[in-house]
Chains A and B, each alone.
Chain A
Amino acid sequence: AQSVTQLDSQVPVFEEAPVELRCNYSSSVSVYLFWYVQYPNQGLQLLLKYLSGSTLVESINGFEAEFNKSQTSFHLRKPSVHISDTAEYFCAVTDPGNNAGNMLTFGGGTRLMVKP
């Protein structure tokens, strides 16, 4: 079974500073990878995804993540954060070759706290 580790439960950072949220997954022949964001008192929203092709994927609000197969990682980065990026971020993985029902396995989440 797949597993996902988000190494940091909380990441405090000042506004306009860069940030990296780390995600590692258990190895598999093939994977699809996702980052979801949960703003306070809301459900999860898809931020970005890697299915195939370029290993660097971007979101519309300036986040990017890079799929690194050798390190089994999918870290999320943003060069300059805003107060509005304060949220909880979840990494998720699935093995498309062995997955009935499109199930995802989620990490424990990282709470990003952007300070003025």
Chain B
Amino acid sequence: DVKVTQSSRYLVKRTGEKVFLECVQDMDHENMFWYRQDPGLGLRLIYFSYDVKMKEKGDIPEGYSVSREKKERFSLILESASTNQTSMYLCASSIYYEQYFGPGTRLTVT
């Protein structure tokens, strides 16, 4: 069965902290994605990766970076967390346009 896992379901961080969100997929998918989900705005793409060590900016990359050192793992990094980054973060992997999502991490920055 397809599985995408995210390191935390809930996370509370302080302004200015460096935050790591981890995502692991067990399907050998080449493509992986990070989205943030906010009410009324749907899902907005932050970054995606189509191969190990390859990354592309999405629609809202400012304030974020990513790392993909292994095929199964895609990390989202908030270099210096700010309150406007409080959101639900969703990771996905895909094959043939069908995306499989993790359960999400609800991040609160205080």
Q: Name 14 A/B residue pairs within 8 A (Cβ), A-sorted.
A: A4-B42, A6-B42, A36-B101, A43-B90, A44-B43, A45-B101, A90-B43, A101-B50, A102-B31, A103-B58, A104-B97, A106-B35, A106-B42, A108-B41
The secondary-structure label for the interface of chain B is strand
Total number of A-B contacts with CB less than 8 angstroms? 62
> What's the minimum C-beta distance from A95 to chain B, rounded to whole angstroms?
10
Across-interface contacts of A36 in B (CB, < 8 A): 101
Interface mask (A84-116 → B, CB under 8 Å = 1, otherwise 0): 000000100010100111111011110000000
Point out residues on B near A: beta carbons under 8 Å. 4, 31, 33, 35, 40-45, 48-50, 56, 58, 90, 92, 94-104
Assembly CA distance A45 to B100 (angstroms): 7
Residues of B within 8 Å of A43, CB to CB, are: 4, 90, 101-104
A96 to chain B minimum Cβ distance, whole angstroms, is: 7
In the complex, per-residue mask of A35-74: 1 if CB is within 8 Å of any chain B CB, else 0:
0100001111110010100000000000000000000000
A94 to B96, CA, bound (A): 11
Contact partner of B96 (CB less than 8 A), chosen from A41, A102, A109, is A102
Measured between beta carbons, the chain A residues less than 8 angstroms from B92 are 44
B56:A100 contact, CB within 8 angstroms: yes
Counting chain A residues whose Cβ lies within 8 A of the other chain, the interface size class is 20 to 34
Q: Are B42 and A109 in contact (CB under 8 A)?
A: yes
Is A46 in contact with B97, judged by CB distance below 8 angstroms? no
